[in-house]
């Protein structure tokens, strides 16, 4: 670790850093390096990338700004943070786009070389903001990053353009110095990544060190030490929600001994799930990139019939397209996991932004009475657990399960204590083995569970045909009988309800009775929980219950809700869970706090909303 | 297909499900069902390895009549269902039953993509040129001008030729059968099964209720020999009641019909059918011919199937990758330890 | 009218007749003849066909029975009737399938020639039921219909098979005699229909008269006269729900002067709408039979952009497929009518049977916050009005409108007083004409309505591009701005709410306050209303409110509901409207009465349910 | 297209929308946009009559850059949107912008059906053999073995040849352009516009980010003349830097490449391109040729379009039918009067 010379060293519980620059400036890469180093140095970390919808949006413009925000600290880091303590702005547009998200008094590092009149104009500044009042409100480090990057690399045998691509490492070096980070993790990473191009490893290392040394030399008045978090012992890794989701499915496959089949079609922000599984041919997983979403889910249904752990992944518009076929799986009563990484809607909407507005679609967006299980993950890393649980429920209850995540979880990263497969609950699908049954009736239900048995195509003796028409109880033959239809509708409903027995009760964070319960579901967990914790620290009495199991709801839901005078439901839509809960348990005093802006809640706005509801 | 135990000897009855056949009396589907059951009995594949999937339509009720594994799917998705079953377990013999509406209207995309991918599925396309189950609207194969429930003044659309479309999508196998000719159909089905890759078999099928007589000229005793030609690989393409007509190429490479004995044409001049030619320039002409209509296996070329490529790649990757199980994966890349 | 000789003539308010036979026996044809004659003779009529899913189900089996039920009477005939007073059974299977639906003491007419041991077995009778107790419970007319049909036609130069196809007319003749119907309407019909085949006209006439004379000769003990209904004066015709729907759209097109474009894909029970419009090239309507449901709706969106009155028709599974594209229309804010003729679900379900289980799908089955208007027709003939209103709302509010009907309405027929176009409300789409505006902003909203203006492609000066991405207020440019997104979400919501101003208040049939309000929506109107009326006649106090406007709800909904102690919601699903109302107005005491059997409610079961809810 | 007032004289600038072009610098889409704007200016069609629709993809952002009417649709549905606009108003000049994913993956069905129906739409298929917008997964035109984000070990699927597929679906017009050759593209676009019926134009388009160099051999100065041939109806199919190579048919009717002056081949022997031959047997070969890649208008045959047939039928029906308005319809068939 460097020597920070004469500057004051301040110890902090947590701090938020944002790297911002042009799409081509490598801000995601930079952010991830900083996060990893921090995690390895013992901090809790939560990160969120934020990039434009265009592949390469016009350089130097606000629309082209790509960002990466990191929250590090000693404990309870559940969100990437509302406002930044430190902003790195690689050009004027990055400054313009992010200024409102920097805390007053915070530190801003800019590449002063980019503050040309031309660039300022592109960014929409009428005049140079650095000459302006800005310097009074923030601590601004005006580093000639471009110049010094050139300088630092001029003796390397590397072309100009390539050398300048390492500018981001100069900025990272400054930030490393500011936070007393060890350069070694990053340098090792370069060595590994550029195994076959040592000159690039050297380039990046040089520039990183140059930035670090620059910060050292300009003698910043203040640097920071972030306390280590009290983490459970174990081996950790960094993981984002999409990878965690993919891996959760892979884990379920290994645990059951079934091969994983994912039929999918790329769509932002879900494509990575497909990509992660496509990369796992080493584990025998099959990733089929279908011609469209419908083929994605339908091939999965075929694969399920043939005995695979079948899944499909998509985002909102894709879920809409899959709805007819999901209904086929409802009728066939085959296991199927459907992952919906929610994004801003309706229609194409805001394709790279998170939202929670697919809930009602997941619950009811199919023709007829069509019960499917619905789960929601709430942190990037617990996507692993809920993907695993989705597979478990699908396989054990012979039912389609929709797992809702969102763009925030999908792209957000968290350090994650690597679980061992032994810790994960067993999965016992009702597969019938050759010779086990005298006669196989496809729709005979296992007593006490409503689950039918799974005779996998290819098993001798159980040949049978199933289909989307209503079928006779037990035998599964086509039946148009009125009473039979109603009975089957109810059997499918009951089968769903039975899942309640297998899911954990709803937990309350905070007192389990009182004035106000804040309710959330899915990806808002971190923000809500932080808000509630902070308010409790401030002396307010408020609790938080977060739903991961949405259909069926946990068995104790009504009881938990009944203990509070008011229930505030916070969600990133116009009140869908609010509507759902109210239609289930109309007797309670629900309020809603909603936001549909394609960006997560801020902790501060949540705190305000909670306080307001505590008051009236 | 790895077989451990001996395959039982079957007759077509072993493939009857016992469900009452609910097609209209006289429907062409019934004869095709029989041909499929006869062919299955001859394939030497254990019963449980057959999976028969379909979409929705009259023809798509087919799986219910087979004593095999099967799925009666949703409209248009038969191709995707079949693809999923086959990729999931290449050891299964997968049969896709689909109508001209199911495969070529709503299911057109899955149809061309399974062909492109060369999924080793046998696609039996029941082409009655009408939507039977929904009671008689025109389909993408209805001839232009046809009057149906939804085209009371005649359709204004050109039909697809399923063979041209399939070959355009890269089909490695295309054959055409006709409901009435059970023996020919069995012969085609056995070849479809033997072919590795997507085998598209178009069955010309009469719908007695909504499009009766669509293929009358091709099945009536008096006219069929003049109106159809049955092609077999390696044989000369000769037809006619008196076996006196044949196909040749003109100087532009276009198929022409000639009469043996006329204009100096001898039997030797007649073109020998080459189903195995990879370039489809003659097969498209055969598939598209309106008179005579070509029956039999028009195209059969060998290319790596999707499942073969998948297996090949899986093996390669597994041989090289250091990741052998979940534990390896979870611990791959950057990890760090937090001590207590 | 014939002379009924010595038999007693009984006068009745209403009576239910069911014709049943093999699919090939022409029961639909027979039923329609009877209905038309009755309507022309001044009765109220309600009819319901009931046919098997197979095109030609196996002859002589229960599965192959096709039926047609007719309710005629002097007033308030709102349903096809629960139980039949008269059953015509053309073979044993028809008897077997329908016996439980005949009133004790009712009349059964059978073709005794078909009661062979073989046919009895096929129908599942162990022994001949006619020899059994049956004759004690019913008045059974054992007519040798087959023999007498042959007999009556033997001197005609007509082949055996063709002659026997007229058997149904023999049965109809008997029934005509029984109810003092005039043969002339039917005979005229034959003349018209078989203009070019006079031998067929003669054949049918002969057999009809033979049946009539046969009935006369066997001297039935009792015949019936049905009182004429007090119908509003006017010109009447017979219409089923699908035709009425198609014609409602055609009427809206004529009224606005816009061409009608229907993009559709056949699906039971909606195909007839496509067919009806395809037949209307004389009126310039375009019916495009698309390659699938998605193309059906998407071509309609294209047509809407090009200035047509655009619609698409389908049933449940098709609505699921269209959901992604409907969302595009939500974003584009283009007028679009989507008709969903609901059938039994989920998946392929019971494709020929009615159900009301697509409600939640219609409301919320799309990704993101996606408000669309939802309407529901309630009688076969008012499908005309609601199709018209759906078009009016879509055009005036620039919004997709889903109109829900169902298989019961679609196939059911009612005499209908033909409206004149002048009676229909005007439709004023916000089309901007060339030169009208200086500058056109596609998402500028007309004050007080939230409606944007419609610049039809091809109009000079208003060139503009719209799309599925979120767009900036007013200008409609693509915008990823968070606040703008939320504002647009709310604008779309408000636009929907504004429709409330244009829809009539919810009406109450019966006292407008009290103990119990029975609530229904859509195709259950007739059954519920009849049940409520009968109960009131029996001295109970109970009211009925029926919803035709579902989203938005009528403005006075809450107020209407608040006047009743209990609200019983009767619907043909598992409680979807119940859930919706409860989520909107949780304060009321809702109960539900549901049926998911693919068959309509019976009035008697509804009455029982209402009484039960009155009591507890 | 009935024109009442005189069409203004345009330059390409009149078709620029003023929206900032947001494609990556160097993206092939940019050059194609320019060609389209140049071509539109020459068509003599009033600006407001153009409608440019698209699906979703990088290429599908195209409408935003055009100062015409347009819809940026949803993924895969460009073909259906275009169909709806054109049928609704045949006076509009409808342009469909679509990618290889948009048209051939999710949109494959609409693509083949609009071709089958011969809807008079100009389909511009931007084929970069990759999914650009979703950041680099393989597409149905990616060559087998290509490594992409979703095929880290190489794809295992055969690609479509868009020309073969289009012709298999019954295309009346197929042409191929390439981003870099703006003049050729303008020439093709003008012919596409002139063609009545579906005009499918495949543009080989370089994606600098995810599939850079896919067409390098076809655009590089040194290699392009050997690797491409530009065909024009009625002209001999000659290519090569020295214009010394050409196409001929062998005795089987298969295209072969010959060198003029070698083996006795003279320029006279070289095949003349006949774009108007209705039977597609040579066009499929031209479309499928890998070396040289054929550019220009490969096929252009005239068939009744959907809208022409619709108009014809409308007129026929309206001339005959007694039903002239709603009142007639409502009162048609059986009606009866109830008197007061
Ligand atoms: C999603 C969906 N759309 C439409 C239908 C209605 N439908 C069922 S079968 C069919 C077409 C049948 O035609 P074809 O595939 O040719 O089969 P055939 O009955 O002629 O054998 C249609 C339109 C449906 N069941 N599901
Ligand atoms: C229903 C739906 N599925 C998937 C997507 C995601 N998606 C957007 S564009 C695209 C493919 C783009 O490839 P292509 O059509 O070749 O266009 P390009 O970007 O290469 O120009 C995909 C998969 C979507 N927007 N909507
Ligand atoms: S309607 Fe036609 S296709 Fe369907 S079962 Fe009857 S004859 Fe066969
Ligand atoms: S990603 Fe590729 S196709 Fe998309 S804009 Fe960039 S270069 Fe063009
Ligand atoms: Mg068919
Ligand atoms: Mg592409």
Looking at every residue in chain A, the average pLDDT score rounds to: 94
Contact D329 C283 (CB under 8 A): yes
CA–CA separation, C365 vs C330, rounded Å? Answer: 13
Same domain, C494 and C515: no
User: Is A395 contained in some domain?
Assistant: yes
Is some CB atom of chain A closer than 8 A to the CB atom of D248? no
| Contact residues on chain D for A55, CB-CB shorter than 8 A | 23-24, 58, 132-133, 135, 209
- pLDDT score of B129 more than 60: yes
> Cα of C182 to ligand 5 centre, how many Å?
43
pLDDT of residue C393: 98
* Nearest Cα residue in chain A from C580: A583
Q: Give tens-digit pLDDT for B24-47.
A: 989 999 999 999 999 999 999 999
Nearest CA to ligand 3 atom 8: B27
Q: What ipTM was predicted for this assembly?
A: 0.96
Question: Which ranges in chain D belong to alpha helices (H)?
Answer: 28-41, 78-88, 100-104, 108-117, 162-168, 182-194, 216-219, 221-227, 281-288, 306-320, 326-330
Contact D329 C280 (CB under 8 A): yes
pLDDT of residue C4: 46
- pLDDT score of D133 more than 50: yes
Q: Give tens-digit pLDDT for D299-324.
A: 999 999 999 999 999 999 999 999 99
Q: List pocket residues of ligand 1, CB cut-off 6 Å.
A: B 56-59, 75, 99-102, 126, 128, 130-134, 139; C 265-267, 293, 317-318, 321, 348
* Nearest Cα residue in chain B from A384: B330
Q: Which of B81, A292, B96, B109 is nearest to D169 (CA)?
A: B109
Distance between alpha carbon A508 and the CA centroid of its chain, in Å? 22
Boundary (domain end) residue, out of C423, C448, C467: C423
Same domain, C198 and C150: yes
Boundary (domain end) residue, out of C162, C195, C225: C225
Same domain, A266 and A369: yes
Q: Which chains are adjacent to chain C, needing at least 3 Cβ pairs under 8 Å?
A: A, B, D
| Contact residues on chain B for A419, CB-CB shorter than 8 A | 330
Residues 6 or more apart whose CB falls under 8 angstroms from that of C546 comprise C378, C507, C509, C519, C520, C521, C525, C528, C529
Model pTM score:
0.96
Phi, psi of C348 (to 5 degrees): -65, -35
Contact B116 D316 (CB under 8 A): no
Task: Label the pairing between strands C84-89 and A564-571.
Answer: unpaired
Q: Give tens-digit pLDDT for B265-289.
A: 999 999 999 999 999 999 999 999 9
Same domain, A284 and A376: yes
Distance from the Cα of B140 to chain C's closest Cα (Å) equals 8
Q: What secondary structure, in 3-state letters, does C551-599 show?
A: ECCCCCHHHHHHCEEEEEEEECCCCHHHHHHHHHCCCCCEEEEECCCCC
SS3 content of chain A, % helix, strand, coil (to 5): 40, 25, 35
Q: Which of D134, D207, D214 to mutate to test the pocket of ligand 4 (most atoms within 8 A of CB)?
A: D207
Higher pLDDT, C550 or D9: C550
Q: Give tens-digit pLDDT for D41-53.
A: 999 999 999 999 9
- pLDDT score of B2 more than 60: no
Boundary (domain end) residue, out of C404, C423, C442: C423
Cβ of residue B127 lying under 6 Å from some atom of ligand 3: no
CA–CA separation, C399 vs C429, rounded Å? Answer: 11
User: Is C519 contained in some domain?
Assistant: yes
Q: How many CB pairs under 8 A join A and D?
A: 65
Partners of D51 in the β-ladder = D69, D94
Q: Give tens-digit pLDDT for D91-131.
A: 999 999 999 999 999 999 999 999 999 999 999 999 999 99
- Tell me the longest C-alpha to C-alpha distance in chain D: 98
Of C232, C418, C462, the CB nearest to D330: C418
Higher pLDDT, C23 or C588: C588
**Contact call for residues C246 and C403 (beta carbons, < 8 A):** no
pLDDT of residue B190: 98
* Nearest Cα residue in chain D from A267: D134
Neighbours of A53 (CB within 10 A): 18
Helix (H) or strand (E) holding C518: strand C514-521
Q: Give tens-digit pLDDT for D2-48.
A: 445 567 799 999 999 999 898 998 999 999 999 999 999 999 999 99
| Contact residues on chain C for A315, CB-CB shorter than 8 A | 367
Q: Give tens-digit pLDDT for C348-394.
A: 999 999 999 999 999 999 999 999 999 999 999 999 999 999 999 99
CA–CA separation, C592 vs C605, rounded Å? Answer: 13
Q: Which of C440, C465, C469 is nearest to D17 (CA)?
A: C465
**Contact call for residues C110 and C130 (beta carbons, < 8 A):** yes
Partners of D126 in the β-ladder = D99, D203
Say which DSSP state A420 is in.
P
* Nearest Cα residue in chain A from C53: A480
Q: Give tens-digit pLDDT for B47-83.
A: 999 999 999 999 999 999 999 999 999 999 999 999 9
**Contact call for residues C330 and C550 (beta carbons, < 8 A):** no
Contact A271 D135 (CB under 8 A): yes
Q: Is D58 exposed, middle or buried (0-12, 13-18, 19+ CB in 10 A)?
A: buried
**Contact call for residues D76 and D110 (beta carbons, < 8 A):** yes
Q: Give tens-digit pLDDT for D211-252.
A: 999 999 999 999 999 999 999 999 999 999 999 999 999 988
Same domain, A206 and A331: no
> Cα of B173 to ligand 1 centre, how many Å?
25
Residues 6 or more apart whose CB falls under 8 angstroms from that of C264 comprise C270, C273, C274, C287, C288, C289, C290, C296, C312, C313, C314
Contact D150 A287 (CB under 8 A): yes
Q: Give tens-digit pLDDT for C129-158.
A: 888 678 888 999 999 999 999 999 988 888
Residues 6 or more apart whose CB falls under 8 angstroms from that of A192 comprise none
- pLDDT score of B118 more than 70: yes
* Nearest Cα residue in chain D from A54: D22
Q: State the average pLDDT over residues C585-595.
A: 98
pLDDT of residue A131: 79
Domain count, chain A: 4
User: Is C43 contained in some domain?
Assistant: yes
Nearest CA to ligand 2 atom 11: D131
Q: State the average pLDDT over residues A426-443.
A: 97
Which residues form the domain of C533? 508-615
User: Is C18 contained in some domain?
Assistant: yes
CA–CA separation, D150 vs A274, rounded Å? Answer: 7
CA–CA separation, C419 vs C412, rounded Å? Answer: 19
Nearest CA to ligand 2 atom 23: A266
First to last CA, chain D: 54
Looking at the CA of D179, name the nearest ligand: 4
**Contact call for residues A240 and A413 (beta carbons, < 8 A):** yes
CA–CA separation, C400 vs C499, rounded Å? Answer: 12
pLDDT of residue A3: 44
**Contact call for residues B106 and C289 (beta carbons, < 8 A):** no
User: Is C2 contained in some domain?
Assistant: no
- pLDDT score of D146 more than 70: yes
pLDDT of residue C55: 72
Q: Give tens-digit pLDDT for B98-116.
A: 999 999 999 999 999 999 9
Same domain, C53 and C106: yes
> Cα of A32 to ligand 4 centre, how many Å?
25
CA–CA separation, C251 vs C255, rounded Å? Answer: 6
Phi, psi of B246 (to 5 degrees): -160, 175
Q: List pocket residues of ligand 4, CB cut-off 6 Å.
A: A 55-56; D 23-24, 27, 29, 58, 128, 132, 207-210
User: Is C232 contained in some domain?
Assistant: no
Contact A325 B317 (CB under 8 A): no
pLDDT of residue D4: 52
Same domain, C18 and C138: yes
| Contact residues on chain B for C271, CB-CB shorter than 8 A | 134-135, 137, 149-150
Looking at every residue in chain C, the average pLDDT score rounds to: 94
- pLDDT score of C1 more than 60: no
- State percent of chain A over pLDDT 70: 99
* Nearest Cα residue in chain C from B207: C55
Q: Best interface-test mutation with D: which of B253, B274, B276, B314 has the largest number of D CBs within 10 A?
A: B253
The side-by-side arrangement of strands in the sheet containing D245-249 is D238-239, D245-249, D255-259
Is some CB atom of chain A closer than 8 A to the CB atom of B71? yes
Q: Which of B131, B207, B212 to mutate to test the pocket of ligand 3 (most atoms within 8 A of CB)?
A: B207
Residue C57, SS3 per DSSP:
coil
CA–CA separation, A39 vs A27, rounded Å? Answer: 18
Higher pLDDT, C30 or C616: C30
Of A295, A324, A418, the CB nearest to B330: A418
Say which DSSP state A238 is in.
E
Same domain, A571 and A586: yes
Q: Give tens-digit pLDDT for A51-77.
A: 776 777 778 888 889 999 999 998 889
* Nearest Cα residue in chain C from B24: C56
**Contact call for residues A389 and A375 (beta carbons, < 8 A):** yes
Neighbours of C444 (CB within 10 A): 15
User: Is A290 contained in some domain?
Assistant: yes
| Contact residues on chain C for A269, CB-CB shorter than 8 A | none
DSSP per-residue codes, A404-472: EEEHHHHH-EEEEEPPPGGGSPP----BPPTTS-SS--TBPEETTTTEEPB--TT-TT---EEESB-B-
pLDDT of residue C5: 52
Cβ of residue B207 lying under 6 Å from some atom of ligand 3: yes
In this structure, of A321-325, B283-287, C51-55, C599-603, the range with the lowest mean pLDDT score is C51-55
Same domain, A272 and A317: yes
Residue A310, SS3 per DSSP:
strand
Q: Is B127 exposed, middle or buried (0-12, 13-18, 19+ CB in 10 A)?
A: buried
pLDDT of residue A2: 42
CA–CA separation, C522 vs A390, rounded Å? Answer: 37
Q: State the average pLDDT over residues C86-101.
A: 94
263-322 in A: which are within 8 Å (CB) of B?
Answer: 263, 280-284, 286, 288, 290-292, 294-295, 298-308, 310
Q: State the average pLDDT over residues C471-476.
A: 97
Virtual CA dihedral for B97, B101, B107, B112, nearest 10 degrees?
Answer: 80
Looking at ligand 4, which atom is closest to the CA of residue D22? 5
Same domain, C190 and C335: no
> Cα of B282 to ligand 4 centre, how many Å?
39
Q: Give tens-digit pLDDT for C184-200.
A: 999 999 999 999 999 99
**The domain that contains A111 carries what CATH number?**
3.40.920.10
Q: Best interface-test mutation with D: which of A24, A55, A60 has the largest number of D CBs within 10 A?
A: A55
In chain B, at which residue ranges do the beta strands (DSSP E only) sit?
50-54, 69-72, 93-99, 122-127, 173-178, 199-204, 228-231, 238-239, 245-249, 255-259, 293-300, 335-338
Say which DSSP state D128 is in.
-
Q: State the average pLDDT over residues A442-455.
A: 97
| Contact residues on chain D for A291, CB-CB shorter than 8 A | 105-106, 108, 140
* Token duo for residue A324: 């007819």
Q: State the average pLDDT over residues B19-26.
A: 91
Neighbours of A185 (CB within 10 A): 18
Cβ of residue D32 lying under 6 Å from some atom of ligand 2: no
Nearest CA to ligand 1 atom 6: C267
**The domain that contains C372 carries what CATH number?**
3.40.50.970
**Contact call for residues A237 and A247 (beta carbons, < 8 A):** no
Phi, psi of D332 (to 5 degrees): -80, 160
CA–CA separation, D196 vs D305, rounded Å? Answer: 7
In this structure, of A578-587, C302-311, D242-251, the range with the lowest mean pLDDT score is D242-251
Same domain, A146 and A287: no
Q: Please give all residues whose CB falls under 5 A of ion ligand 5, grouped by chain where several chains appear.
A: B 99-100, 128
Neighbours of D250 (CB within 10 A): 10
> Cα of D56 to ligand 2 centre, how many Å?
5
User: Is A1 contained in some domain?
Assistant: no
Q: Can you tell me which residue has the tokens 């009495």?
A: A541
**The domain that contains A574 carries what CATH number?**
3.40.50.920
Distance between alpha carbon C534 and the CA centroid of its chain, in Å? 23
Cβ of residue A296 lying under 6 Å from some atom of ligand 2: no
- pLDDT score of A423 more than 60: yes
Same domain, A148 and A25: yes
């Amino acid at each position: 670790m460097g020597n920070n010379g004469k500057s004051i060293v301040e110890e902090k519980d947590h701090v938020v850093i944002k790297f911002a620059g042009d799409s081509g400036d490598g801000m995601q890469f930079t952010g991830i390096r900083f996060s990893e180093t921090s995690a390895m140095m013992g901090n809790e970390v939560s990160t969120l990338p934020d990039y434009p919808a265009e592949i390469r949006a016009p350089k130097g413009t606000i629309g082209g700004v790509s960002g990466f925000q990191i929250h590090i600290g000693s404990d309870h880091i559940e969100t990437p943070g509302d406002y930044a303590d430190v902003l790195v702005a690689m050009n004027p547009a990055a400054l313009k786009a992010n200024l409102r998200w920097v805390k007053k008094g915070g530190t801003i590092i800019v590449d002063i070389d980019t503050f040309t009149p031309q660039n300022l104009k592109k960014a929409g500044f009428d005049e140079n903001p650095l000459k302006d009042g800005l310097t009074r409100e923030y601590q601004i480090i005006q580093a000639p990053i471009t110049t010094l990057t050139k300088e630092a690399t001029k003796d390397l045998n590397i072309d100009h353009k390539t050398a300048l691509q390492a500018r981001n490492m100069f900025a990272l070096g400054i930030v490393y110095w500011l936070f007393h980070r060890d350069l070694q993790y990053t340098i090792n990473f370069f060595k590994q990544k550029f195994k076959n191009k040592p000159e690039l490893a050297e380039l990046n290392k040089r520039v990183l060190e140059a930035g670090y040394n620059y910060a050292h030399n300009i003698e910043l008045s203040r640097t920071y030490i972030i306390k280590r978090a009290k983490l459970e012992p174990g081996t950790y890794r960094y993981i984002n929600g999409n990878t965690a989701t993919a891996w959760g499915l892979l884990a379920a496959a290994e645990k059951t001994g079934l091969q994983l089949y994912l039929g999918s079609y790329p769509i932002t922000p879900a494509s990575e799930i497909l990509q992660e599984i496509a990369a796992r041919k080493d584990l025998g997983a099959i990733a089929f990139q279908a011609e469209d979403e419908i083929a994605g889910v339908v091939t999965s249904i075929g694969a399920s019939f043939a005995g695979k752990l079948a899944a499909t992944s998509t985002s909102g518009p894709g879920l809409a397209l899959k709805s007819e076929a999901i209904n086929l799986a409802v009728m066939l009563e085959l296991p199927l996991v459907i992952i919906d990484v929610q994004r801003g809607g309706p229609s194409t909407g805001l394709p790279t932004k998170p939202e929670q507005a697919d809930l009602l679609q997941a619950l009811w967006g199919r023709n007829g009475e069509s019960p499917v299980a619905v789960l929601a993950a709430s942190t990037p890393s617990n996507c692993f657990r809920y993907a695993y649980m989705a597979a478990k429920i699908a396989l054990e209850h012979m039912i389609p399960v929709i797992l809702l995540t969102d763009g925030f979880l999908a792209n957000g990263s968290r350090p994650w204590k690597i679980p061992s497969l032994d810790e994960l609950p067993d999965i016992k699908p009702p597969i019938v083995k050759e010779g086990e049954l005298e006669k196989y009736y496809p729709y005979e239900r296992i007593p006490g569970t409503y689950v039918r048995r799974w005779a996998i195509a290819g098993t001798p003796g159980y040949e049978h045909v199933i289909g989307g028409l209503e079928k006779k109880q037990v035998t599964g033959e086509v039946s148009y009988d009125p009473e039979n239809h109603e009975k089957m509708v109810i059997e499918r409903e009951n089968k769903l309800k039975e899942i309640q027995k297998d899911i954990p009760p709803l937990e309350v964070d905070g007192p389990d009775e009182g004035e106000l319960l804040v309710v959330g579901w899915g990806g808002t967990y971190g923000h809500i929980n932080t808000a509630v914790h902070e308010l409790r620290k401030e002396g307010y009495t408020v609790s938080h219950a977060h739903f991961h199991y949405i259909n069926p709801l946990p068995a104790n839901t009504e009881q938990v809700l009944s203990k509070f005078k008011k229930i505030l439901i916070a969600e990133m839509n116009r009140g869908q869970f609010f509507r759902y809960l109210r239609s289930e348990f109309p007797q309670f005093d629900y309020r809603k706090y909603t936001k549909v802006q394609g960006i997560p809640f801020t902790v501060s706005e949540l705190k305000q909303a909670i306080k307001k509801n505590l008051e009236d | 297909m790895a077989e451990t135990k001996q395959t039982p000897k079957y007759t077509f009855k072993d493939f009857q499900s016992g469900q009452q056949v609910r097609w209209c009396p006289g429907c062409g589907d019934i004869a095709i069902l029989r041909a499929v059951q006869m062919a299955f009995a001859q394939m030497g594949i254990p019963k449980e390895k057959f999976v028969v999937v379909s979409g929705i339509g009259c023809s798509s009720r087919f799986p219910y009549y087979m004593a095999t594994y099967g799925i009666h799917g949703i409209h248009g998705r038969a191709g995707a269902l079949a693809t999923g079953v086959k990729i999931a377990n290449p050891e299964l013999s997968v049969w896709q039953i689909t109508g001209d509406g199911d495969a070529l209207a709503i299911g057109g995309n899955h149809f061309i993509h399974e062909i492109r991918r060369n999924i080793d599925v046998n696609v039996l396309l029941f082409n009655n040129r009408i939507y039977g189950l929904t009671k008689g609207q025109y389909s993408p194969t209805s001839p232009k001008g046809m009057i149906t429930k939804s085209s009371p003044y005649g359709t204004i659309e050109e039909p697809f030729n399923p063979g041209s479309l399939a070959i355009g999508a890269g089909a490695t196998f295309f054959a055409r059968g006709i409901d009435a000719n059970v023996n020919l159909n069995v012969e085609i089905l056995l070849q479809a099964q033997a072919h590795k890759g997507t085998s598209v078999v178009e069955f010309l099928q009469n719908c007695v209720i909504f499009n009766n007589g669509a293929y009358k000229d091709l099945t009536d005793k008096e006219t069929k020999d003049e109106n159809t030609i049955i092609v077999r690989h390696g044989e000369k393409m000769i037809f006619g009641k008196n076996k006196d007509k044949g196909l040749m190429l003109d100087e532009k490479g276009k198929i022409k019909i000639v009469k043996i004995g006329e204009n100096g044409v001898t039997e030797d001049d007649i073109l020998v059918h080459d189903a195995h030619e990879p370039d489809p320039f003659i097969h498209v002409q055969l598939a598209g011919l309106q008179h005579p209509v070509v029956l039999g296996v028009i195209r059969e070329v060998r290319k790596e199937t999707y499942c073969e490529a998948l297996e090949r790649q899986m093996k390669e990757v597994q041989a090289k990758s250091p990741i052998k199980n979940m534990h390896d994966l979870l611990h791959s890349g950057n990890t760090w330890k937090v001590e207590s």
